[in-house]
Amino acid sequence: MFNVREATVKDAEEVAKVHVDSWRSTYKDLVKEEDLAQETSYENRKVFWETILKSQLTKQILYVAENREHQVVGFVSGGPERSKKFPYEGEIYAIYILEEYQGQGIGKKLLTSFMHKAMEMDYESILVWVLTANPSSQFYEYFGAKPIDAEEITIGEGTYEETAYGWDDVRPLIQ
């Protein structure tokens, strides 16, 4: 059993832990160890999430999933599409779930909660970037996202390919 709710500033440390631990488990075979190490500091991620949660940006979305003990085990964040290269209004910036909680429907609940809020904020189309080699891209395809572009990104000192997936219309996801 789990609960999904909007995040608060008090969640920053737990969101940071989920972010770092999920990065480590998800990308351990996809990103070089030295590149991954540069991106996975608990303290840096905590400051990052505190800054976002304190900023009260009106077009930002951040939901957390909690277990029965009210510990954060997953999150989704997003807001306006950042690149302005694509005809999508919104973007999922991150969606992570601790490895031991994956496969329990948390991702679906986070995604649909995000899409409901996106519609309230007039984001009718959504983009998400995923490392091309990440098998989790099947999650987005399962929920109707279509691959639309690919480009190279830098993580640490390494270069990796990332694929953009898009939903032209999020309404089918929230019905």
The pLDDT tens digits for 9-21 are 999 999 999 999 9
**Position 102 pLDDT exceeds 80:** yes
Mean pLDDT of the 40-52 span: 87
Residues in CB range of 51: below 8 A, 6 or more apart: none
Mean pLDDT of the 1-14 span: 94
* Closest by CA position to 88, among listed 170, 168, 174: 168
More confident residue, 50 or 27: 50
Average pLDDT, the chain: 91
Q: Return the pLDDT at 58.
A: 65
Q: Which of 37-41, 116-120, 134-138 is the least confident region?
A: 37-41
- What does the DSSP 8-state code read for residue 2? -
3-state SS assignment for residue 82: coil
Q: What would the pLDDT profile of 113-128 be if each residue is shown by its tens digit?
A: 999 999 999 999 999 9
Identify each DSSP E strand in the chain by its residue range: 3-6, 61-66, 72-80, 90-97, 126-131, 146-155, 158-167
Per the confidence metrics, is the pTM higher than 0.75?
A: yes
Q: How many helices (H) and strands (E) does the chain have?
A: 6, 7
Domains and CATH numbers, the chain: 3-124 (3.40.630.30)
Phi then psi dihedrals of residue 58, to 5 deg: -70, -25
* Exposure letters 4-36 (e unless 16+ CB within 10 A, then b): beebeeebbebbbbbbbbbbbebbeeebeeebb
Q: Return the pLDDT at 156.
A: 84
> What six digits make up the tokens of 72?
């954060």
pLDDT above 70 coverage of the chain, percent: 97
Instruction: Decide: 155 and 30 in contact? Cβ < 8 Å.
Output: no
Please work out, in degrees rounded to the nearest 5, the angle formed at the alpha carbon of residue 94 by the alpha carbons of 6 and 149: 140
DSSP H or E run through 115: helix 106-120
Q: Return the pLDDT at 57.
A: 65
Q: What would the pLDDT profile of 60-101 be if each residue is shown by its tens digit?
A: 899 999 999 999 999 999 999 998 899 999 999 999 999 999
